[in-house]
Amino acid sequence: MTRPTPAMRRAMAEAQVGDDVYGEDPTANRLQDLAAELLGFERALFFPSGTMANQVALLLHLPRGSEVLAPEGAHLYEYELGAPALLAGALVRAVPAPGGVPDLEARKRAIRRGPFQAPTGLIALENTHNLAGGRVVPLEVQKAVQALAQAHGLPTHLDGARLFNAATFLGVEAKEVARGFTTLMVSLSKGLGAPVESLLLLPKDLEAEARRYRKLLGGGLRQAGVLAAGILALTEGPKHLKRDHALARALAEGLARLGLKVEPVETNMVYLEVPDPQGFLERLKAQGVLAGAVGGRVRFVTHRDLRDEDIPQALEAVDRALQSKAP
């Protein structure tokens, strides 16, 4: 929902560009160097989308016929169109993760090494976890999962599309949330405000192979530097997230006052259940308030383009949408 800011549009208009397929786009290179430094990885690679970056990570880690353990509801299988099967030729096994927090014992039991089953090749996490309500996985849990992976000689991947939201909630540097994973995907679109683009962070020895897969999937962009908005999304975007979270809390409190059953809010998402979600969303849209139906629930997302007064106005619209009968 965010639109590029005037500063982002200026940066894009004035961006110096070269051919990024040859690694010669100075703006894409600056973005990648900046991200690697900021998140504590050896390398960062520009991607047109988070989906492509996640799937390249699976291609890098998973031999065909192996499986990735992912928290239930993970984006990489719920919303990536079966790509793990189609591209990496891998299975995804969902492991229980109440509130987005993976159950460690279940993970331990899920690791497969025997000769008669698909071997586990990767352990994945998602932080913040979208379908679990934008909830944050605590750093101790991340560390325990990494230790488990290490004990079995397995790599780890973090779907950190909303890594900066997790860092904001935890009150730590983004680097702390990124620490210890073999690879990491982070989105510069969505809450950070860039129009498109995500990054895959990775060790140096995986870079050449990651570039090969990116090109193979059609993600080798020539003058990627025209998307220079990503630099501002990365450096300035995170500063706005605290306010996004405060707006979400205010919205959640207001919805609860209206008698609605709202799920716990930790970041910029407010999930709730209403009878007839589709009808509710249509009546809401007619009043200029957009929300989505996600996983059978209604999801509101707050973001940097909202004004403070949008929250009370949205609550009034919700109140009216609840009162009025479905057409």
Least distance from C-beta 100 to ligand PLP, angstroms?
10
Q: Cβ 199 to ligand PLP, closest distance in Å? A: 11
CB of 127 to ligand PLP, least distance (A): 9
Comparison of 199 and 272: residue with beta carbon closer to ligand PLP: 199
Nearer to ligand PLP, 213 or 283 (CB): 213
- C-alpha 204/C-alpha 8 separation (Å) is 29
Q: How far is the CB of 4 from ligand PLP (least distance, A)?
A: 15
Q: Name the H helices within the chain.
A: 6-14, 26-39, 50-61, 75-78, 83, 104-110, 139-151, 163-170, 174-178, 207-216, 229-235, 241-257, 277-286, 310-323
For 152, residues 6+ apart whose C-beta sits below 8 A from its C-beta are 111, 113, 120
Residues that bind ligand PLP (CB under 6 A): 49-51, 54, 75, 126, 130, 159, 161, 187, 189, 198
Our CB check for ligand PLP shows the closer of 73 and 277 to be: 73
For residue 81, the minimal CB distance to ligand PLP (Å) is 11
- Say how far apart CA 286 and CA 192 lie, in whole Å: 27
For ligand PLP, give the closer residue by CB, 66 or 189: 189
The single residue listed with the structure tokens 């060790």 is 203
Question: Residue 44 in 3-state DSSP?
Answer: strand
Residue nearer to ligand PLP on the CB measure, 88 or 321: 88
What is the nearest approach in angstroms of ligand PLP to the Cβ of residue 51? Answer: 3
Minimum CB distance to ligand PLP smaller for 137 or for 317: 137
27: its two tokens: 């703006």
- Please say which residue, 111 or 221, places its beta carbon nearer to ligand PLP: 221
Closest approach, Cβ 131 to ligand PLP, in A, equals 9
Q: Are the CB atoms for 251 and 315 separated by under 8 Å?
A: yes
Closest distance of CB 219 from ligand PLP, Å: 11
Q: Is 175 left (phi over 0), alpha (psi -120 to 50) or beta?
A: alpha
Q: Contact 141/101 with Cβ under 8 angstroms?
A: yes
- Cβ count near 127 (within 10 Å): 29
Is the N-terminal amide bond of 128 cis, ω within 30° of 0?
Answer: yes
Q: Which of 77, 111 has the CB closer to ligand PLP?
A: 77
CB-closest chain residue to ligand PLP? 50
Burial class (CB in 10 A: 0-12, 13-18, 19+), 316: middle
